[in-house]
Amino acid sequence: MYLILLGAPGVGKGTQAKVLEAALGIPQVSTGDMLRAAKASGSELGHRVAAVMDAGHLVSDDIILDVVRARLQAPDAAKGAIFDGFPRTVAQAEALENIAPISHVVALDVAEDEIVARISARYSCGACGKPFNTLSSPTTRADGRCDACGGDMVQRADDTASAVVTRLKAYADNTAPLVSFYEGRGLLRRVDGWGDPAVITERVLASIGRESRSEPAAVKPG
């Protein structure tokens, strides 16, 4: 089974992909993880990736597709994979059809105002890096500091409300057309992505006609 998870930033694709690994017995493969692994491998492909990334440039579609091909040849991907963060464009989706037979495409739907609220609530400790969310997993300290080490909270520049709106526009311009692309191929399943992550996992599995192989992990939405 080759499953693609689609959705705007902050809908919980990464959270769901991790839980679905256990439920379906196939690995999550994300663009970022694949590029970092290729770079660290020391292979010819890894050197190509490193040269581009170290120069601060965007990795081309050709290189990304070569990385995907290499990742899917790993033993753990023999029965399929869960794509998280790939493809990002229709051109990548068309090329992916020549690499892996896509079984299902699940679009996690969350209202824009809920996404803005969810992402803009994310913080982390500037000292130890522990993540927090003022909505779902706030610090337990009254002074607002990290409850692990007492450090000050910091927020990523792209997690502010105004930055999130900009990211959502970029998603709508570049990645949302994939929804229409996969609808046209009869592969798309829309799933409500708001609520308890374990419940969302069951919705995803139901949408593709599968049952959980293990109890979904209790993960708070981030």
Task: Judge whether 71 counts as a catalytic residue.
Answer: no
Task: Judge whether 48 counts as a catalytic residue.
Answer: no
Among the listed residues 79, 141, 156, 213, the single catalytic one is: 156
Among the listed residues 13, 39, 71, 118, the single catalytic one is: 13
Locus of tokens 């209202």: 111
Among the listed residues 48, 118, 122, 189, the single catalytic one is: 122
How distant is the alpha carbon of residue 141 from its chain centre?
Answer: 30
Task: Judge whether 156 counts as a catalytic residue.
Answer: yes
Task: Judge whether 141 counts as a catalytic residue.
Answer: no
Among the listed residues 18, 130, 167, 210, the single catalytic one is: 167
Among the listed residues 88, 130, 145, 210, the single catalytic one is: 88
Cβ within 8 Å of residue 8, ≥6 positions away: 110, 112, 115, 168, 171, 172, 175, 176
Q: Respond yes or no on whether the N-terminal peptide bond of residue 87 is cis (omega within 30° of 0).
A: yes
Task: Judge whether 167 counts as a catalytic residue.
Answer: yes
B/e letters for 45-62, b = 16+ CB within 10 Å, e = fewer, are bbebbbebbeeeeebeee
Which residues are known to be catalytic?
13, 88, 122, 156, 167
